[in-house]
Structure 1
Amino acid sequence: MKAKPEKYERGTRSYTMSHIRGKDTSIEVMVRRYLFSRGLRFRKNDKRYPGHPDIVLPKWHTVVFVNGCFWHMHEGCTKHSMPKSNVEFWSAKLLRNRERDRAQHAALEAMGWRVIVVWECELAKPVRQERLERLYTQIVGGDAAPAVPSDTAS
């Protein structure tokens, strides 16, 4: 059986992976633009909170994480697959990411914040609009009353 040729030249993979952004990714920017266009105001990557949430909506006491399916091990998603090479390193790294996410979400919820996760695969073109509308509804609709009513006089 012939070995599959490498997709990258030696050393290129490491260089490519080192340039993957941690914040202001295209999917984060897409979600922020949508929420801003709907009139929501927020802070981004606020370091005061566990996990530095991608979007913090203080009025609604809600935080939004926009997660890449690979990096955060989205279960049951076709965009997440364990790399075939250096399996020990990648499985340890990705499991650490998942556990860290769980701990950060629990800490935020304990502080009284509502945590919403938007996955990369939910922002694929065929389902994007529906997911963004559902996100807006999750933030402002139903049980998502503002933490402090803005129109009440003391």
Structure 2
Amino acid sequence: MATITPLHEGIFQHLAAKLQSEDAPNSKIPALVDRSDVEPINVFESGNILFYLAEKLGHFLSSKKSARTVVMNWLFWMQGSAPYLGGGFGHFYAYAPEKMKYPINRFAMETKRQLDVLNKQLAKHTFVAGNEYSIADIAIWLALVWQFSVEQSI
């Protein structure tokens, strides 16, 4: 049985020291500790948590090698695109103390390119990795919801 503890912005500072541990060596959320086995298993970073849970629970990741590979391709595409979609563009557009034209334009161009890649894939398939909903869809949707919520709050 899993226990989910929601986190609120006000407690991030309180958790910083705790997160800088084996549970989350990168000192960031998300991190998961699976205590359902004899030895606790630490899992961190969103893509790996999705992969771990999909394998453990047997959902959202095909057991067929070819379909599984396509899902993993798109999951890793998302993990590789995230620095552009949110990290780079979001930082320079919304949070940088000075608005700098070059990084905003550079990351905006790359964000548009990555979204074009995704649009072309979704034009051919019901879900990003084919005809079945997968961990790749979950990862991409979460990243895009976050990105658009940042844009809406600016």
Answer 1 or 2: which has greater strand percent.
1
Q: What TM-score do you get using the length of structure 2 for normalisation? A: 0.38
Answer 1 or 2: which has greater helix percent.
2
Q: What TM-score do you get using the length of structure 1 for normalisation? A: 0.38
Higher gyration radius (CA): 1
Q: Which has the bigger relative contact order, CA under 8 A and spacing at least 6?
A: 1
